[in-house]
């Protein structure tokens, strides 16, 4: 069974997003845009943890899908 705990997590506050890694307590990134925050985490996972790019990008892709879905519903409402 796969480990469902994500390595990368985001602490979202106004106006910034702090991106951290559960396995690398010294690593962090600060971004202002959610997509850029996801990309920072992806880069860390790919470079440091040798994660497969497709797997590292999964969280961002799902976030973008939810965002598009929410925008469609907001327009149609």
* Domain boundaries of the chain, sorted by first residue: 8-76
**3-state secondary structure (DSSP) of residue 29:** strand
Mean pLDDT score of the chain, rounded to an integer?
Answer: 91
- Residue 6: which pLDDT band, with cuts at 50, 70 and 90? confident
pLDDT digits over 14-48, tens only?
A: 999 999 999 999 999 999 999 999 999 999 999 99
| pTM of the predicted model as reported, rounded to 2 decimal places | 0.83
Asked whether residue 4 carries a pLDDT value surpassing 60, the answer given is no
Whole-angstrom Cα distance, residue 47 to residue 22? 15
């Amino acid at each position: 069974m796969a480990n469902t705990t994500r390595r990368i997590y985001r602490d979202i506050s106004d106006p910034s997003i702090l991106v951290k890694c559960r396995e690398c307590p010294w690593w962090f990134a600060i971004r202002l845009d959610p997509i850029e925050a996801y990309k920072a985490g992806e880069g860390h996972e790919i470079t440091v943890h040798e994660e497969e790019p497709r797997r590292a990008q999964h969280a961002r892709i799902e976030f973008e899908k939810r965002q598009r879905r929410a925008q469609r519903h907001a327009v149609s409402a």
